Structure 1
């Protein structure tokens, strides 16, 4: 059996998809990954075969820098970073304006490239990143069944009256006005309609018999897989989802890092892991405030500086571990707290490790993810641009405590996080993904022969 994995050329997308694919690899099945050249080393490290497929203009091998991007993408990235300094609404508005060119890059060309890969490999099953819209457009136009993996928060697939790009919920640390929210929704509705028009135009070229979509952002594959713990998702929204499976998380296995292992073994003091991921690590001003908040606590800190200048943190305590990149999964296994931007990989990996979370969301689905952490009682969310050193310190102290506050029956974030971690580790995401696809009675990928045509459907809610 052959599994084809289709991913954009971004490490944060490929890593969880590749981790899910290890369930096939462990059963002796062939795994082929179609992605771009920037992440080729990740494919190789997993022991998979690769077919080169560049689905978008940009790429990210692990730490993203504007100067490493193609002309146009570099300015867009700088614009995004600038918008995060203005707050939630400005960031979401910037991302909405960039969305049409970001998500449907040369759609007919890329869809045909995907179908050429499928035709050549004749895979038995296919896993696709939900945000690889050009790839899914091609598969839908050809009538192929595939595992549609939502790697971010489930709100990446709008349901009910939701509009893509407009967060359905966010933590109380953010208080946008009704006017700001109204303007954001109007903008996202305009972008939705423009995106859907572009989707339908490409669909008509690929399959003239296909039925146009009314909301291309709400389109999804028949086998919907959510890389997210159900316990962090609002039950009322779960009820509105189409047929699906919650995978919990896709926690990768990391190679041994001797420096990190020695550092962990040097002391039994609590470990706080700090990382803003591959994009938001550029916000050294916020990372610096976090460092100042933690320096007076009886903890050791592992700080991933990412694209920030390491000199910014030259004066931190000598027993801290400060590097551009750190093995997140390894450190979470020993951490008592994570301070994070709230990216879905960080949220789900920390949840699986049973670690409480101090979330400082900047963009996209990070707001919804932070709300889920707060509502589940496993963390605290603060606004990154306005949270003071004292507020960050107080939140860290509270999350590091092992007893609850208020009523005697109240659990601490530590105990809630541990309980959730035990649940998620009992049935790992890769096994859930394999079991879900194996349970389907219809072929998951291409039948051995020419792909058949299936009319595209309207949004399925």
Structure 2
């Protein structure tokens, strides 16, 4: 086996931690000795999965469940509020806000992290590190120290800008999201500035080590061994033999059985619709409310299952025998039992829905969600709506049109997802036939 001791560095974000943990488990099952480094809030879960735990903070921003409930420093909470407000103004305003926040929340103490990772490397004799694409300071540290690592990309592959592309600017937009040319120009300017600032910080540090090259774009700095995408190879770009490998795994979640209490709750022959906006965007109570009322109007007999985050109590007025509203739902376990998923276009929910071949309506707000929504629309795998401007009639139309989506395409990608998963990438990297 090529690498025996693996150190997985996870950001303290629930939506990135979980897929990374599945990847770590796959390394462990193939015979590697795995340590998971993360902040203290995740220690219990890491130990429960029988990994060695190493405490390391790599971000001042944390999301350990729903973002509003996570204890945050005041500056982080202010940035979160600013982000939520920007989502109400539309796609470009949201992406500009996110781009401006990047330096503050994702370039965390690079000099200190270099020292911490050097200490890990000196004491633990690590053969290979696994780093999340959004952990920019960790990637910089590993590159600076010249140690072998692989890059894990849980969001859309375009999160890593290829030549001539802009960081945090969608390559293509779904039809429902209209973008003004002037606004797009402004977004590209902000993106360019953020990219330059990040790259300058990287190169100032890199220049202290004369044996490594300066870089042209900090956001494109990835492993020379392999990049693992928790996504689908829609554009046929996979490279699985020569390095750097580009490996598409289709899913990185662990199957969970649904408990009896929930089985009783969902026992109906009627259509089942899940509404989930993810750990961050469940903050948008107005959109959740509109989705509940609109779906109820067009499908009065359907069973609605709503993940409402911290707004669960306020939305209880809409609960009924066929409307379940909970702060947290066992989404992974529930997915196989629902018919349709209305969601924000987050990669985890997408891969879970695709694995089970579910009907999808995507309402993208931010980040990579526009790229994901575009892919689903382009391949006729679902429908896309503007979360800020959809009407009840538009949702009804989108739900009706799901009958016209390509069942052959969905079946094909569902089968790809089931054939792959984390084991596919891990075997390629460890060179296990």
Cα gap change, 1:391 to 1:313, in 2 (>3 Å): farther
Native 8 Å contact 1:5 1:31 kept in 2: yes
1:145 to 138, 145, 148: 148
The alpha-carbon deviation at position 48 of structure 1 amounts to 1.9
The alpha-carbon deviation at position 433 of structure 1 amounts to 1.8
The alpha-carbon deviation at position 321 of structure 1 amounts to 2.4
For residues 280 and 419 of structure 2, the distance between their equivalents in structure 1, rounded to whole angstroms, comes to 31
The match for 1:219 is 221
Please say if 1:187 is aligned against 2:190: yes
Alignment length (residue pairs): 424
Cα gap change, 1:52 to 1:29, in 2 (>3 Å): same
Cα gap change, 1:396 to 1:115, in 2 (>3 Å): farther
Native 8 Å contact 2:315 2:325 kept in 1: no
For residues 45 and 406 of structure 2, the distance between their equivalents in structure 1, rounded to whole angstroms, comes to 34
1:115 to 111, 118, 135: 118
The alpha-carbon deviation at position 173 of structure 1 amounts to 0.7
Secondary structure of 1:50's partner?
A: strand
Native 8 Å contact 1:67 1:74 kept in 2: no
* Structure 2 gap ranges (5+): none
The alpha-carbon deviation at position 27 of structure 1 amounts to 3.6
Q: Please show how residues 219-258 of structure 1 align to structure 2 within 5 Å.
A: 219-222=221-224, 223-231=226-234, 234-235=235-236, 243-254=245-256, 256-258=258-260
CA displacement 1:304-345 (0-9 Å, x = unmatched): 101324322422332332211111111111121111111111
Secondary structure of 2:74's partner?
A: coil
Q: Which has the higher contact order (CA 8 A, sep 6+)?
A: 1
Larger deviation: 248-257 or 44-53? 248-257
CA displacement 1:347-376 (0-9 Å, x = unmatched): 122111111211000001110011011111
For residues 324 and 158 of structure 1, the distance between their equivalents in structure 2, rounded to whole angstroms, comes to 35
The alpha-carbon deviation at position 46 of structure 1 amounts to 2.5
Secondary structure of 1:168's partner?
A: coil
Q: Please show how residues 339-378 of structure 1 align to structure 2 within 5 Å.
A: 339-378=342-381
The alpha-carbon deviation at position 127 of structure 1 amounts to 1.5
Native 8 Å contact 1:170 1:367 kept in 2: yes
The alpha-carbon deviation at position 2 of structure 1 amounts to 2.8
The match for 2:22 is 19
The match for 2:105 is 102
Native 8 Å contact 2:5 2:126 kept in 1: yes
Please say if 1:288 is aligned against 2:289: yes
The alpha-carbon deviation at position 163 of structure 1 amounts to 1.3
Native 8 Å contact 1:159 1:218 kept in 2: yes
Q: Please show how residues 276-355 of structure 1 align to structure 2 within 5 Å.
A: 276-296=277-297, 297=299, 298-355=301-358
The match for 1:154 is 157
For residues 169 and 35 of structure 1, the distance between their equivalents in structure 2, rounded to whole angstroms, comes to 34
Please say if 1:381 is aligned against 2:384: yes
The alpha-carbon deviation at position 237 of structure 1 amounts to 10
Native 8 Å contact 1:295 1:317 kept in 2: no
Secondary structure of 2:131's partner?
A: strand
After TM superposition, the score normalised by the length of structure 1 is 0.87
Secondary structure of 1:391's partner?
A: helix
